[in-house]
Amino acid sequence: MAGFALGVEQEEWCGQLRALAERRLRPLAEKGEPGRVNRPLLAELGELGLLERVFGSGALELCLLRESLAYGCTEAETALALQGLGGHPVLRAGTAAQRERWLPGVRAGRLVAAFALSEPGAGSDAAALALAAAPDGAGWRLEGAKCWISNAPEADFYTVFARTGEAPGAKGITAFLVPADRPGLTGEALDMLSPHPIGSLSFDGVPVGREDVLGGPGQGFRVAMETLNLFRPSVGAFAVGMARAALDATLAHTAGRTAFGGVLADLQAVAHRVAEMATRTEAARLLVYAAAGAYDSGSPDVPRRAAMAKLLATETAQYVVDHAVQLHGAVALRRGHLLEHLYREVRAPRIYEGASEVQRGIIAKELYRGVAAR
């Protein structure tokens, strides 16, 4: 990828993914129930080999995959991304037995994975987790709650982050692989603005042992951050996919809609706004690709670049979709319209996996770390 321009094969693959999302995945998404895990859609993602690509690819390929699917079917993109988010800690930090037991089913779309980090009192401040892992013989018992967990309470297993207390703050957190059928684990669905499956989890003495630990006791925060450093740029790619879909819809609409004696595109106010939407989308796309390239090359500045990519892309997508709605007028607010759908979808990425304010904090911290080092 020279100068962040995609090669011919990459462009063709992205085009195939967009067509696939529209032709094969969109019909399955439309049959799903909002707020519930769409298992037929997941199975199709597995059958098409797309879930395998999530676990066997680099950051750039993951970004291209998420951007392309988001353009044609946001539900398919989100289902794929959540499988990756929940399963990636097992891939990177799990034992051979854990990987063999769970990952084949995740890759095939038969088993649903979930990433359980956020809590009612610890969303953006991930180091402030309160879910307690109390010692119990050779293992622990989990006491507390998780909230805003994608795929909960329908997932087949959860990557759960709990406080084992080896040290204060982030250094006292351990990651556990917790099957959904463990005694004491319950959950309920939450009715959210966007149609994704999201819920809360309650842990009432849930037993976990050393065979359930991911990455070692006290290593949970590192496991979480390694996962988020990979997925944050790809959240930006999801946002870019939505922005590009909104932009293309706006171009088609303003080029054909007559008003004030001509087409909307002839009005300077409209044309300039569309130009701004396109420029911001392209800038966000390039920053996402740059962050993905940094991750794939092992660059030490991945946290800063990943935060920049997620920040700019999600804020840009909000801007583009909002202005797309404005240029379409009332038709875009009708239930079932592409932009009505995108307007509900685009808001959440500015919050999850680290809100925009958190990303700004990460960027500033990394910048000043560089000053101190010099």
Per-residue pLDDT tens for 240-279? 999 999 999 999 999 999 988 999 999 999 999 999 999 9
Place 128 in a pLDDT band, splitting at 50, 70 and 90.
Answer: confident
Task: Give the whole-angstrom CA distance, residue 284 versus residue 240.
Answer: 7
pLDDT at 41 (0 to 100): 98
pLDDT at 123 (0 to 100): 75
Residue 146 one-letter amino acid: K
Task: Give the whole-angstrom CA distance, residue 72 versus residue 67.
Answer: 9
Q: What is the CATH number of domain 2-108?
A: 1.10.540.10
Percent of the chain past pLDDT 90, that is, above it, reads: 90
Mean pLDDT, residues 116-133 taken together: 87
Mean pLDDT, residues 192-202 taken together: 92
Instruction: Please name which of 225, 313, 230, 307 lies closest in space to residue 57, comparing C-alpha atoms.
Output: 230
Indicate the class that CATH gives domain 113-217.
mainly beta
Task: Give the whole-angstrom CA distance, residue 54 versus residue 13.
Answer: 15
Instruction: Please name which of 154, 158, 44, 70 lies closest in space to residue 348, comparing C-alpha atoms.
Output: 70
Count of CB atoms situated within 10 Å of the CB of 70 = 30
Residues of the chain with CATH 1.20.140.10: 222-373
pTM metric for this prediction = 0.94
Active site residue 119: no
Residue 107 has pLDDT above 80, yes or no: yes
Residue 113 sits at φ, ψ, to 5 deg, of: -105, 155
Residues of the chain with CATH 1.10.540.10: 2-108
Tens digit of pLDDT for each residue in 300-340?
A: 999 999 999 999 999 999 999 999 999 999 999 999 999 99
CA distances from 295 to 11, 14, 92, 301 (A): 21, 20, 15, 9
Mean pLDDT, residues 87-104 taken together: 97
Q: What secondary structure letter does DSSP report for 131?
A: -
Residues of the chain with CATH 2.40.110.10: 113-217
pLDDT at 4 (0 to 100): 64
Query: Would you say 148 and 198 are in contact if contact means Cβ atoms under 8 Å apart?
Result: yes
CA distances from 316 to 43, 67, 272, 360 (A): 32, 14, 16, 15
Query: Would you say 81 and 238 are in contact if contact means Cβ atoms under 8 Å apart?
Result: yes
The DSSP H or E segment spanning 203 is strand 198-208
* Domain 222-373 sits in CATH 3.40.50.300: no
Residues 6+ apart with CB under 8 A from 69: 17, 18, 21, 25, 50, 76, 77, 80, 241
pLDDT at 5 (0 to 100): 75
Residue 1 has pLDDT above 50, yes or no: no
Task: Give the whole-angstrom CA distance, residue 68 versus residue 77.
Answer: 8
Q: Which of 44, 315, 345, 353 is catalytic?
A: 353
Instruction: Please name which of 109, 107, 105 lies closest in space to residue 39, comparing C-alpha atoms.
Output: 109
Place 165 in a pLDDT band, splitting at 50, 70 and 90.
Answer: confident
Place 2 in a pLDDT band, splitting at 50, 70 and 90.
Answer: very low
Residue 144 β-bridge partners: 203
